[in-house]
Chains A and B, each alone.
Chain A
Amino acid sequence: AAGVIQSPRHLIKEKRETATLKCYPIPRHDTVYWYQQGPGQDPQFLISFYEKMQSDKGSIPDRFSAQQFSDYHSELNMSSLELGDSALYFCASSLERGTYEQYFGPGTRLTVT
Protein backbone atom coordinates (compact mmCIF):
# COMPACT_ATOMS: atom_id res chain seq x y z
CA ALA A 1 0.00 0.00 0.00
CA ALA A 2 1.17 3.50 -0.78
CA GLY A 3 2.43 5.51 2.15
CA VAL A 4 3.18 9.12 2.88
CA ILE A 5 6.33 10.26 1.11
CA GLN A 6 8.59 12.94 2.49
CA SER A 7 11.61 14.53 0.93
CA PRO A 8 14.37 15.04 1.57
CA ARG A 9 14.94 12.44 4.27
CA HIS A 10 17.92 14.31 5.66
CA LEU A 11 18.82 17.97 5.42
CA ILE A 12 21.72 19.93 6.83
CA LYS A 13 21.51 23.70 6.86
CA GLU A 14 23.39 26.51 8.50
CA LYS A 15 21.90 29.09 10.83
CA ARG A 16 19.87 31.77 9.08
CA GLU A 17 19.45 29.65 5.97
CA THR A 18 16.15 28.54 4.45
CA ALA A 19 14.81 25.00 4.10
CA THR A 20 11.88 23.50 2.22
CA LEU A 21 10.39 20.17 3.21
CA LYS A 22 8.00 18.32 0.95
CA CYS A 23 5.20 15.89 1.71
CA TYR A 24 3.22 13.70 -0.65
CA PRO A 25 0.15 12.28 1.08
CA ILE A 26 -1.35 8.86 0.53
CA PRO A 27 -3.38 8.91 -2.73
CA ARG A 28 -6.91 10.30 -2.21
CA HIS A 29 -5.97 11.71 1.19
CA ASP A 30 -6.95 15.36 1.24
CA THR A 31 -5.78 16.42 4.69
CA VAL A 32 -2.16 16.97 5.59
CA TYR A 33 -0.60 17.61 8.99
CA TRP A 34 2.90 18.69 9.93
CA TYR A 35 4.53 17.73 13.22
CA GLN A 36 7.90 18.52 14.75
CA GLN A 37 9.65 16.03 17.00
CA GLY A 38 12.70 17.05 18.99
CA PRO A 39 15.16 14.48 20.39
CA GLY A 40 13.42 12.33 22.98
CA GLN A 41 10.24 14.36 22.64
CA ASP A 42 6.74 13.61 21.47
CA PRO A 43 5.59 15.01 18.12
CA GLN A 44 4.23 18.54 18.33
CA PHE A 45 1.54 19.68 15.93
CA LEU A 46 2.57 22.55 13.68
CA ILE A 47 -0.09 23.09 11.04
CA SER A 48 -2.70 21.29 8.97
CA PHE A 49 -4.40 21.66 5.61
CA TYR A 50 -7.69 20.37 4.29
CA GLU A 51 -8.53 20.65 0.61
CA LYS A 52 -5.64 23.05 0.04
CA MET A 53 -6.81 25.44 2.75
CA GLN A 54 -5.05 25.95 6.04
CA SER A 55 -7.15 24.25 8.65
CA ASP A 56 -5.43 24.91 11.95
CA LYS A 57 -2.17 26.14 13.40
CA GLY A 58 -0.34 24.77 16.36
CA SER A 59 3.05 25.78 17.72
CA ILE A 60 4.45 26.85 14.36
CA PRO A 61 6.95 29.72 14.49
CA ASP A 62 6.24 32.79 12.39
CA ARG A 63 9.45 31.99 10.49
CA PHE A 64 7.74 28.90 9.11
CA SER A 65 5.05 28.78 6.49
CA ALA A 66 3.33 25.99 4.65
CA GLN A 67 0.89 25.36 1.88
CA GLN A 68 -0.95 22.55 0.16
CA PHE A 69 -1.00 22.42 -3.62
CA SER A 70 -3.62 21.36 -6.15
CA ASP A 71 -2.21 17.82 -6.23
CA TYR A 72 -2.53 17.76 -2.40
CA HIS A 73 1.19 17.65 -1.75
CA SER A 74 2.37 20.07 0.88
CA GLU A 75 5.53 22.03 1.51
CA LEU A 76 6.85 23.40 4.78
CA ASN A 77 9.07 26.44 4.30
CA MET A 78 11.42 27.35 7.10
CA SER A 79 13.40 30.59 7.07
CA SER A 80 16.05 32.15 9.31
CA LEU A 81 16.85 28.72 10.67
CA GLU A 82 17.96 28.45 14.27
CA LEU A 83 19.87 25.70 16.04
CA GLY A 84 16.69 24.85 17.93
CA ASP A 85 14.93 23.99 14.69
CA SER A 86 17.00 20.80 14.47
CA ALA A 87 14.43 18.03 14.73
CA LEU A 88 12.51 15.38 12.89
CA TYR A 89 9.69 16.81 10.85
CA PHE A 90 6.81 14.49 10.11
CA CYS A 91 4.00 14.83 7.68
CA ALA A 92 0.81 12.85 8.21
CA SER A 93 -2.23 12.49 6.01
CA SER A 94 -5.81 11.43 6.46
CA LEU A 95 -8.66 10.75 4.09
CA GLU A 96 -11.26 13.41 4.86
CA ARG A 97 -13.09 15.17 7.56
CA GLY A 98 -14.52 12.74 10.07
CA THR A 99 -11.84 10.17 9.39
CA TYR A 100 -9.73 9.86 12.46
CA GLU A 101 -6.72 7.89 11.29
CA GLN A 102 -3.59 9.84 10.55
CA TYR A 103 -0.79 8.06 8.74
CA PHE A 104 2.72 9.37 9.20
CA GLY A 105 5.55 9.60 6.73
CA PRO A 106 9.14 8.56 7.48
CA GLY A 107 10.11 12.10 8.41
CA THR A 108 12.78 14.58 7.41
CA ARG A 109 15.69 14.95 9.78
CA LEU A 110 16.75 18.58 9.77
CA THR A 111 20.08 19.50 11.28
CA VAL A 112 20.94 23.16 11.66
CA THR A 113 24.63 23.90 12.27
Chain B
Amino acid sequence: QQQVKQSPQSLIVQKGGISIINCAYENTAFDYFPWYQQFPGKGPALLIAIRPDVSEKKEGRFTISFNKSAKQFSLHIMDSQPGDSATYFCAACRDLSGSARQLTFGSGTQLTVLP
Protein backbone atom coordinates (compact mmCIF):
# COMPACT_ATOMS: atom_id res chain seq x y z
CA GLN B 1 0.00 0.00 0.00
CA GLN B 2 1.43 3.32 -1.13
CA GLN B 3 1.80 5.48 1.96
CA VAL B 4 2.29 8.58 -0.18
CA LYS B 5 -0.09 8.88 -3.10
CA GLN B 6 1.02 10.99 -6.05
CA SER B 7 -0.88 12.25 -9.08
CA PRO B 8 -0.93 12.57 -11.98
CA GLN B 9 1.19 9.71 -13.25
CA SER B 10 2.14 11.76 -16.29
CA LEU B 11 1.78 15.40 -17.22
CA ILE B 12 2.31 17.28 -20.46
CA VAL B 13 2.65 21.04 -20.31
CA GLN B 14 3.45 23.69 -22.87
CA LYS B 15 6.58 25.77 -22.44
CA GLY B 16 5.83 28.69 -20.15
CA GLY B 17 2.90 26.95 -18.51
CA ILE B 18 2.40 25.87 -14.92
CA SER B 19 3.00 22.28 -13.90
CA ILE B 20 1.15 21.04 -10.83
CA ILE B 21 1.80 17.73 -9.11
CA ASN B 22 -0.16 16.61 -6.08
CA CYS B 23 0.60 14.27 -3.20
CA ALA B 24 -1.35 13.03 -0.22
CA TYR B 25 -0.29 11.10 2.85
CA GLU B 26 -1.96 9.31 5.73
CA ASN B 27 0.68 8.93 8.40
CA THR B 28 0.62 12.01 10.63
CA ALA B 29 4.05 11.05 11.95
CA PHE B 30 5.55 12.39 8.73
CA ASP B 31 7.21 15.70 9.46
CA TYR B 32 9.27 16.57 6.40
CA PHE B 33 8.18 16.60 2.78
CA PRO B 34 10.80 16.87 0.04
CA TRP B 35 10.42 16.82 -3.72
CA TYR B 36 12.98 15.09 -5.90
CA GLN B 37 13.68 15.49 -9.60
CA GLN B 38 15.07 12.52 -11.49
CA PHE B 39 16.41 12.35 -15.01
CA PRO B 40 16.71 8.96 -16.76
CA GLY B 41 19.60 6.94 -15.45
CA LYS B 42 20.42 9.50 -12.78
CA GLY B 43 19.91 9.65 -9.04
CA PRO B 44 17.05 11.67 -7.55
CA ALA B 45 18.08 15.27 -6.89
CA LEU B 46 16.59 17.20 -4.00
CA LEU B 47 14.56 20.05 -5.43
CA ILE B 48 12.72 21.70 -2.58
CA ALA B 49 11.30 20.63 0.78
CA ILE B 50 8.82 21.80 3.37
CA ARG B 51 7.93 21.12 6.97
CA PRO B 52 4.33 20.99 8.24
CA ASP B 53 4.57 24.23 10.20
CA VAL B 54 4.78 26.15 6.93
CA SER B 55 1.97 26.38 4.37
CA GLU B 56 4.06 27.45 1.41
CA LYS B 57 7.67 27.56 0.35
CA LYS B 58 9.01 29.09 -2.82
CA GLU B 59 12.42 28.69 -4.41
CA GLY B 60 12.77 30.28 -7.81
CA ARG B 61 10.19 28.78 -10.15
CA PHE B 62 9.34 25.98 -7.72
CA THR B 63 6.71 26.32 -5.00
CA ILE B 64 5.43 23.79 -2.50
CA SER B 65 1.95 24.29 -1.07
CA PHE B 66 1.16 22.34 2.08
CA ASN B 67 -2.24 21.67 3.64
CA LYS B 68 -1.71 20.00 6.98
CA SER B 69 -5.38 19.46 7.79
CA ALA B 70 -6.01 17.78 4.45
CA LYS B 71 -2.67 15.93 4.59
CA GLN B 72 -1.87 17.09 1.09
CA PHE B 73 0.98 18.92 -0.54
CA SER B 74 1.72 19.96 -4.08
CA LEU B 75 4.55 21.14 -6.30
CA HIS B 76 4.02 24.02 -8.68
CA ILE B 77 6.53 24.70 -11.42
CA MET B 78 6.03 28.14 -12.88
CA ASP B 79 7.15 29.06 -16.39
CA SER B 80 7.85 25.41 -17.15
CA GLN B 81 10.78 24.78 -19.50
CA PRO B 82 11.71 21.80 -21.70
CA GLY B 83 14.70 21.25 -19.38
CA ASP B 84 12.24 20.57 -16.57
CA SER B 85 11.14 17.40 -18.35
CA ALA B 86 11.91 14.67 -15.83
CA THR B 87 10.26 12.41 -13.29
CA TYR B 88 9.24 14.13 -10.09
CA PHE B 89 8.84 12.27 -6.83
CA CYS B 90 7.24 13.61 -3.72
CA ALA B 91 8.39 12.01 -0.51
CA ALA B 92 7.67 12.03 3.17
CA CYS B 93 9.99 11.52 6.05
CA ARG B 94 9.59 10.65 9.69
CA ASP B 95 11.91 10.15 12.54
CA LEU B 96 12.90 6.58 13.18
CA SER B 97 13.80 4.82 16.37
CA GLY B 98 17.44 5.29 15.49
CA SER B 99 19.14 8.24 13.94
CA ALA B 100 18.26 7.83 10.31
CA ARG B 101 15.22 9.23 8.59
CA GLN B 102 13.62 6.93 6.07
CA LEU B 103 12.14 8.50 2.94
CA THR B 104 8.86 7.14 1.64
CA PHE B 105 8.36 8.10 -1.98
CA GLY B 106 5.28 8.68 -4.07
CA SER B 107 4.92 6.77 -7.30
CA GLY B 108 6.35 9.56 -9.44
CA THR B 109 5.09 11.92 -12.16
CA GLN B 110 6.60 11.94 -15.61
CA LEU B 111 6.60 15.58 -16.68
CA THR B 112 7.03 16.53 -20.31
CA VAL B 113 7.33 20.18 -21.24
CA LEU B 114 6.74 20.80 -24.91
CA PRO B 115 8.86 23.44 -26.66
Contacts and interface: CB of A to CB of B under 8 A. Distances in A.
B100 A104 contact: no
A45 interface: yes
B82 to A, nearest CB: 22
Given A43-B89, A44-B105, A48-B98, 11 more contacts: A43-B103, A45-B102, A50-B100, A56-B96, A56-B100, A97-B100, A101-B49, A102-B34, A104-B44, A104-B46, A106-B42
B80 interface: no
Interface of A: 4, 31, 33, 35, 41-45, 48-51, 53, 55-56, 58, 90, 92, 94, 96-97, 100-107, 109
Interface string B5-46: 000000000000000000000000000101010000111111
Given A42-B89, A102-B46, A107-B43, A55 B105 contact: no
Interface residues of B, number: 26
A88 B103 CA distance: 17
Given A42-B89, A55-B98, A56-B96, A102 B103 contact: yes
Interface of B: 32, 34, 36, 41-46, 49, 51, 89, 93, 96-108
20 contacts: A31-B99, A33-B100, A41-B108, A42-B89, A42-B106, A48-B102, A53-B98, A56-B100, A92-B43, A92-B103, A94-B100, A100-B34, A100-B49, A100-B93, A101-B46, A102-B46, A102-B103, A103-B46, A106-B43, A109-B41
